[in-house]
Amino acid sequence: MKDTKDVTLAYYAENAEAFAQGTVSADMQAKREEFLREIPAGGRILDFGCGSGRDAKAFLEMGYAVDASDGSEELCEYARTYTGIDVRCSRFEELCAREAYDGIWACSSILHLPREELRKVMERIRDALVPGGVLYTSFRFGLYEGMRGGRYYTDFTEMSFREFLEEIPGLEEIRMWVTNDVRPGRQDDLWLNILLKRRQKA
């Protein structure tokens, strides 16, 4: 059986252009504003699983220092053209920065990891944040874990994510909220939005 990450990346390789064009104009302004309230002006942000580069470009235009990465070379190429910055092609588990970012934006990206791998990547995210740094991430709302539409998904509810978060010391909840999908024709799909903070060192 193929690794679930390979299957998911194969999906994006085959559908990169359609995916990018279908998401690049999605209105994420309200969610970005929630995230940026916690980030110092001009702070360093990692767009982790940047897809089309939609949010990286928005952060750049607001004066933030932005790094961007994605596991799909095809999406990285699209994002490089769209944002005008170098976009690193790397898998989530390759993140090795230490206390480098004021914020990490993982919008609808790390949801493709199986739960155990997700826990390890969340630990890497924690370590890449400065103390007091903030993560925004989002998952489909529910309790499903498995293949869906050619990609692997791990879904969460507020309760199941809080239980999962207990496995990751050093991260604490700021806020969780549920929203409808902002894409046309997808408004009935629910998403769990999450803001977490790396605890300050004692």
Range of the domain at 175: 4-114+123-179
Residues of the chain with confidence (pLDDT) below 70: 1-2, 183-188, 202
pLDDT at 1: 39
pLDDT at 188: 67
pLDDT at 57: 98
Rounded CA separation 90/68 (Å)? 10
Is residue 202 one of the residues assigned to a domain? Answer: no
**pLDDT tens column, 148-179:** 999 999 999 999 999 999 999 999 999 999 99
pLDDT at 202: 52
Rounded CA separation 3/11 (Å)? 13
Read off the pTM: 0.95
pLDDT at 3: 78
Q: CA gyration radius for the chain?
A: 16
Is residue 46 one of the residues assigned to a domain? Answer: yes
Among 31, 40, 17, 25, CA closest to 184: 25
What is the CATH number for 129? Answer: 3.40.50.150
What residue has token string 């999906």? 11
Is residue 194 one of the residues assigned to a domain? Answer: no
Rounded CA separation 169/123 (Å)? 8
Is residue 186 one of the residues assigned to a domain? Answer: no
Is residue 89 one of the residues assigned to a domain? Answer: yes
What residue has token string 């155990």? 116
Is residue 25 one of the residues assigned to a domain? Answer: yes
- Whether residue 130 contacts residue 102, with contact meaning beta carbons closer than 8 Å, is answered with yes
Is residue 16 one of the residues assigned to a domain? Answer: yes
Per-residue b or e along 4-16, where b marks 16 or more CB atoms closer than 10 Å to that residue's CB: bbeebbebbeebb
Is residue 184 one of the residues assigned to a domain? Answer: no
What are the distances in angstroms from CA 102 to CA 41, 58, 107, 175?
Answer: 10, 16, 16, 17
If one counts the domains in the chain, the total is 1
